[in-house]
Structure 1
Amino acid sequence: MLQEELMEIRDPLLRKVQDHPFWSGLRDGSLPGEALARFVQQDTGFLLPAYARALARCAAAAPDDADTLLLGQSVVGTLTARDRLRRAYTTLAGELGLPELQAGLPADPATQAHASFFAAASARSFYAGVGALLPMVWFNAEVSDNLRRDAAPGSRYLPWIEVYHPGDSYGYAVRAFLDMVDRAGESCSARERQLIVEQFSISVRYEWAFAECCIRQPSWPV
């Protein structure tokens, strides 16, 4: 199955992402509040909307109606999650001593590159698009499970970790996405299959780059 090949590519990067100071800082409570605010602003303001639009392009290009349905439902789920995370952060900001979200902040260069990658891959073909989109849903499940399971007792961010987790039913969505990728890998040409792998290999690196940009605020030229 194609997902087994992709898992071999994913696992080394997943471990690095989970050990990144952004995610480890959430687990042990040491993450600066400004970094979490930056994550929420970049994620909900730019990355999740770009991901939803890329899902919609892939839904329109999907060769199978079942895949169109899954990807269309994922568009709704992504935008709903975007709104839920912003509301949750606003609710918890005072309790956790976090900065308020600011209007009008620009996209970080790494966020802009990540969003542009989603747009380009999904415009190229269905196969390029699903390869690019799979890491976000897969990493989200693994990282949020790791946060909830391994968070230090008494961590400052326990309330946020709980609301950030997409819920136990999210595992069904991940498995459906992986099943779709396996079906695509079996029915497509050798070149299209390689395209899935190539785009996936690029996309997993963006998962690390996004955590990096959230913890290291860019210095904007005057």
Structure 2
Amino acid sequence: MFSHQLVKEANPILEAIFDHPFVKGIGDGHVDDAALKFYVQQDFQYLSEFIKIYASIIPILKDREDMRFFAENIDFILNSEIHPHHVFCDIANVTYESLQHATPSPKAYLYQSHMYRAVKTGSLANIICALLPCPWTYNEIAKQLTATGKNTADNPFKSWIDFYLTDDEDGGLTQKLFKMLNELSKNMSEAEINEAKGFFLKSTELEWEFWEQAFYQQDWRFADIIHGGSHHE
């Protein structure tokens, strides 16, 4: 199946995500406050664009149940996915509201541009492939941390891990999107399959890059020039 092919080819990147010091820090119960704050600043902006791209799928759909599914997940991102942000903010001892006005960093900007490029193709498979690595890798991180005994009661990140475990169900977002791709792939040419796969694999690497940029706070080198003094720390 197409979904199995995607997971197999992306697995080396997923393993690198598991080994990333930010992700390992979540498992060990300690990540520097600066990394947590940078992550929340960038992820708030990323998810705002993620919602818009989700919404772009609805006009392409024909089945009302599929429309309902994507509408419900837009609502989930808007109203529920603030919880893991609050976990990071509480640990870093900073208010969530103070981190909502950052400018997208270079890698976040690249990731957003990549997703919009998928939208411009007009292909539902391409859009899903560009979006899917986000929920997929987070669910896999949560499962891996739990399987390796890191999801303990004394880990301050426990509720963050628990939040992303909830997608590991047949009716969860990740499984639903993989199933949609399997159905779509039945009517796709080899060229279309390869194009969609490219979006999936690039997004998976960009998930690694997102952890990387947060851990090292990789912002625009010439931020003051680029933003004309409007850069937010």
Q: TM-score range by the shorter chain?
A: 0.7 to 0.9
For 2:75 and 2:56, how far apart are their aligned partners in 1? Answer: 13
Question: Among residues 101, 126, 136, which one is paired with 1:138 in the alignment?
Answer: 136
Tell me the number of residue pairs that the alignment of Structure 1 and Structure 2 aligns. Answer: 216
**What's the counterpart of residue 120 of structure 2?**
123
Superposed CA deviations along residues 111-136 of structure 1, whole A, max 9, x for unmatched, are: 11112211221232212101111111
| 1:170 alignment partner, SS class | coil
Q: Judge conservation of contact 2:143–2:165 (CA < 8 Å) in 1.
A: no
For 1:33 and 1:155, how far apart are their aligned partners in 2? Answer: 21
For 1:168 and 1:61, how far apart are their aligned partners in 2? Answer: 29
Report how far residue 175 of structure 1 moved: 1.4
Q: Judge conservation of contact 2:138–2:164 (CA < 8 Å) in 1.
A: no
Report how far residue 97 of structure 1 moved: 5.1
Structure 1 residues 200 and 116: CA distance shift in structure 2, 3 A: same
Q: Judge conservation of contact 1:122–1:130 (CA < 8 Å) in 2.
A: no
**What's the counterpart of residue 159 of structure 2?**
162
Q: Which of the pair is proportionally richer in helix?
A: 1
TM (norm. structure 1) is: 0.85
* AA in 2 matched with 1:137: P
Question: Among residues 104, 109, 113, which one is paired with 2:110 in the alignment?
Answer: 113
| 1:58 alignment partner, SS class | helix
Structure 2: runs of 5+ lacking an equivalent: 225-233
| 1:105 alignment partner, SS class | coil
For 1:167 and 1:215, how far apart are their aligned partners in 2? Answer: 20
Report how far residue 71 of structure 1 moved: 2.4
User: In the TM superposition, what are the counterparts of 1:32-181 in structure 2 within 5 Å?
Assistant: 32-43=32-43, 45-90=44-89, 93=90, 96=91, 98-101=93-96, 102-103=98-99, 104-125=101-122, 126-150=124-148, 152=150, 158-166=155-163, 168-171=165-168, 172-173=171-172, 174-181=174-181
What percent identity do the matched residue pairs reach?
Answer: 20
Report how far residue 181 of structure 1 moved: 0.8
Report how far residue 152 of structure 1 moved: 4.4
Report how far residue 164 of structure 1 moved: 4.6
Report how far residue 69 of structure 1 moved: 3.1
Q: Judge conservation of contact 1:136–1:207 (CA < 8 Å) in 2.
A: yes
TM (norm. structure 2) is: 0.81
Q: Judge conservation of contact 1:53–1:119 (CA < 8 Å) in 2.
A: no
For 2:205 and 2:134, how far apart are their aligned partners in 1? Answer: 11
| 2:217 alignment partner, SS class | coil
Superposed CA deviations along residues 121-164 of structure 1, whole A, max 9, x for unmatched, are: 123221210111111121111012223443548797x2333235
| 1:188 alignment partner, SS class | coil
For 1:169 and 1:24, how far apart are their aligned partners in 2? Answer: 20
Q: Judge conservation of contact 1:42–1:107 (CA < 8 Å) in 2.
A: yes
Q: Judge conservation of contact 2:151–2:161 (CA < 8 Å) in 1.
A: no
For 1:163 and 1:58, how far apart are their aligned partners in 2? Answer: 28
**What's the counterpart of residue 201 of structure 1?**
201
User: CA RMSD for the aligned pairs?
Assistant: 2.5
Structure 1 residues 29 and 155: CA distance shift in structure 2, 3 A: farther
